[in-house]
Amino acid sequence: MFDVIILNMKNSLVSLPNKNDIQSTYVAYNPVLSEILEKVEEKLKKTIKLASTPTYKSRVKSFNSYYQKVLRLKSEEAEKANFIPLTDMMGIRVICAFLEDLSEVERQVKEKFVVREVEYKGAQQNFREFGYESVHVLIAIPDDCMPTKNVLPLPDSIVCEIQIRTILQDAWAEVEHELVYKTEFTPFDLPLKRKLASINASLSLADIVFQEIRDYQRKLQGEVEVRKAAFYEKADVLTLEKNDAKKTDGQEQKSIQRVSPYVRGTIDDMLLEAIQAHNNGEVEKAVKIYSEILGTTPQPPAPVLAVIHKHRGMAFFAGNRYEEALNDFKDSVKYDEKGFRSYYYMGIVYSIMSKHREAVEAFTKSLEIHEYQSHAHYRRALSYFALGDYNESIADLNAAKSLGLPDSEWRNLNDKLVEKFGMKM
């Protein structure tokens, strides 16, 4: 569905203009349609907001394709209207990463454009059938997308088609177009039909699995953020000496929407269970699960071991078991030398243990791996201050400020340095 073109009929006795007349009209309108399409695509890109940026493809229907479709129309309809309206002359594909994006794109399009029609391609197919799935939305052309200099009349019914697909749906549509549509080939051979149906089903299943992984990552990340916030809050209480800080031991843990329990078995399932236990204040349960993962046979690969040691270290920290937390963070960087967060956590633990020289070394290592860490600069500034190295403390404090550390977090140390030097920082 992509075309709307105006064609002048020679006279009422002629069913359709000849090919040259059709082509002449097409050539005249092509620049107009191209300008409209470009503006609609630009507007669409500004409208659609997704976590994963979609890919856009657009095209004005080629003349050969347009002409073939015109020949399939009923001639009396063309005569009655004195033009041949095709709905798929202008088309834009919005290609998304995940299934959840499809309904979100459709919703945003409906909010910002006048929608004439929505069609869900492939929605009625059963598992034995093959064919591409896609959401097709026909929109009226917005006033601000009309051509700036257009002397050719455009019908009120002119539309642009927006096709919304996942990456895999688009891949299937492209291949199917080459194998079936272009050749007008209908496979009657049963094994061939089964192969096509199998490929289609496999791609559909892959889309579902990708979405499930996406959902899992989002849930896991939510739990990690809650746990990380609790870790930093406790570190602040113990190292920054905030007068208004509340004691974290025994306090109610921050909450996010909990996920349905997974069937336990995979490392991912166990990791999520452990993080949820940690966030619910069940620190010992979390430590136990992390230890089970580390003790599995065969042993998980190095990147996994690095992550689990880091998580267990944070659980030990929450339980005031600082030596064990420190050992886990050290083990984490053994398996991942670029683990700047584990070095950062090591620095925090050293600070709490009043081992400020070791804390400086750990923060320095973290910053060598990733230099744009305002909090690492700030905490190293605190350690330098505790060691009496005020010049280094000032340098780190200024670096933390320049990297956007909030005023409320650096003000206390700033005031202490002002006292030492008797001057405004």
pLDDT higher than 60, residue 109: yes
Q: Distance between alpha carbon 85 and the CA centroid of its chain, in Å?
A: 38
Q: 223 or 38: whose pLDDT is higher?
A: 38
User: For 353-400, what is each residue's pLDDT tens digit?
Assistant: 999 999 999 999 999 999 999 999 999 999 999 999 999 999 999 999
What DSSP element (H or E) covers 73? none
Nearest by Cα to 258 from 231, 218, 229, 223: 223
> In DSSP terms, which residues pair with 264 in a beta bridge?
266
Gap between the Cα atoms of 356 and 386, Å rounded: 7
pLDDT tier at 181 (50, 70, 90 boundaries)?
low
Across the strands, what pairs with 266?
264
Residue corresponding to tokens 């690095």: 306
Residues 196-231: tens digit of each pLDDT: 777 777 888 788 888 878 877 787 778 778 777 878
| Residue range 113-171, pLDDT digits in tens | 999 999 987 655 544 444 457 899 999 999 999 988 767 788 888 899 999 999 998 88
* 351 CB-contact burial (10 Å; exposed 0-12 / middle 13-18 / buried 19+): buried
Nearest-CA neighbor of 54 among 65, 66, 62, 46?
46
pLDDT value for 9: 38
pLDDT at 67 over 70: yes
Q: For all residues of the chain together, what is the average pLDDT?
A: 80
What pLDDT, on a 0 to 100 scale, did the predictor assign at position 226? Answer: 79
What phi and psi values does residue 5 have, to the nearest 5 degrees? -140, 145
pLDDT of residue 17: 57
Element (H, E) at 164: strand 159-166
- The reported pLDDT for the residue numbered 125 is 52
What pLDDT, on the 0 to 100 scale, is given for residue 253?
39
Task: Tell me the average pLDDT across 70-76.
Answer: 63
The region of weakest confidence among 156-170, 290-304, 313-327, 338-352 is 290-304
Three-state DSSP state, 11: coil
Average pLDDT over residues 294-319: 89
Assign 82 a pLDDT band (cuts: 50, 70, 90).
Answer: very low
Residue 419 has what pLDDT?
79
Between 138 and 73, the more confident residue is: 138
11: confidence class by pLDDT, cuts 50, 70, 90 = very low
